[in-house]
Amino acid sequence: MKNRLKLIGLFIFSIFSVEAKEFRIMTLTDTNGIRNLEFMNQGKIQKLTLTKNYITNRFTVPMSNVIYFYEEYPPMGTKVMPEPTLTIKFPKNNNNIIVLIESSEDLKTPLKYEFIEDNPKNFPESTVIIYNKMNKPVISKLDDTKIKISPNQRKSVKLSNKEDDSAPFNGKVVFAAPKDGGIDFFYSTYWYVPKSQKLFCVITEDKRNNTHELSKISVD
């Protein structure tokens, strides 16, 4: 009898574990003036602030795999809910998720999103994901590694120490993009990246000032 109860307990625990995946939100661009979002999570209203080039704390994905976000959540007991500011439909798997949020040109849906699965296979430690949000290619040099990132594409790069693979990445990093018929080396610095750290880089263009910008976000 005890063994049977133990098996039932393990089965229930396994079901709960499968559903208990988490998500974080990373804001990549300005958000059409939307600063805060509220949503129902685990029986209470949760709040988060959309800050450009920042990743939030973790939240639990509900069993329905859908969350409705509002700038101000409707009062409890509202019979007819208004249209949400943002609806996120999560994939039906057990992977933790990073939700990439950015502004949309459609005023009816001012925010759009996409996913990165936050697991050791898709986003391992000592990795940088570079997201080129421009309509032009970007060339980067991470120590001795040269990479080309096509327009509006992202690329994952494993960081390593050429002298000691078990040591943190410590090298010069350069990014360049075409500009006015020439090349703009718009980012040049040294990175020190511990083995346990992950990075996400967003590359954007300020057309008004004719400049390129790289924002680096630490993902621990």
- Contact criterion met (CB below 8 Å) for 176 and 158: no
The CA distance from 90 to 183, in Å, is: 40
CATH topology of domain 21-123: Immunoglobulin-like (2.60.40)
- Contact criterion met (CB below 8 Å) for 116 and 130: no
The CA distance from 37 to 148, in Å, is: 35
Confidence of residue 117 (pLDDT cuts 50, 70, 90): very high
Domains 21-123 and 124-220 share a fold: yes
Please write the tens of the pLDDT for every residue from 157-188: 999 888 888 889 999 999 999 999 999 999 99
Q: For residue 33, give the nearest of 91, 104, 99, 89 by alpha carbon.
A: 104
Please write the tens of the pLDDT for every residue from 182-215: 999 999 999 999 988 999 999 999 988 999 999 9
Label residue 23 exposed, middle or buried (CB < 10 Å: 0-12, 13-18, 19+): buried
Q: Looking at domain 124-220, does it have CATH number 2.60.40?
A: yes
Residue 65, Ramachandran bin (φ over 0: left; ψ between -120 and 50: alpha; else beta): left
The CA distance from 195 to 209, in Å, is: 37
Delimit the domains of the chain by residue range. 21-123, 124-220
More confident residue, 2 or 70: 70
Fill in the amino acid letter for 68: Y
Cα distance from N-terminal residue to C-terminal residue, the chain: 44
The CA distance from 162 to 140, in Å, is: 17
Q: For residue 140, give the nearest of 205, 210, 214 by alpha carbon.
A: 214
Please write the tens of the pLDDT for every residue from 125-165: 999 999 999 999 999 999 999 999 999 999 999 998 888 88
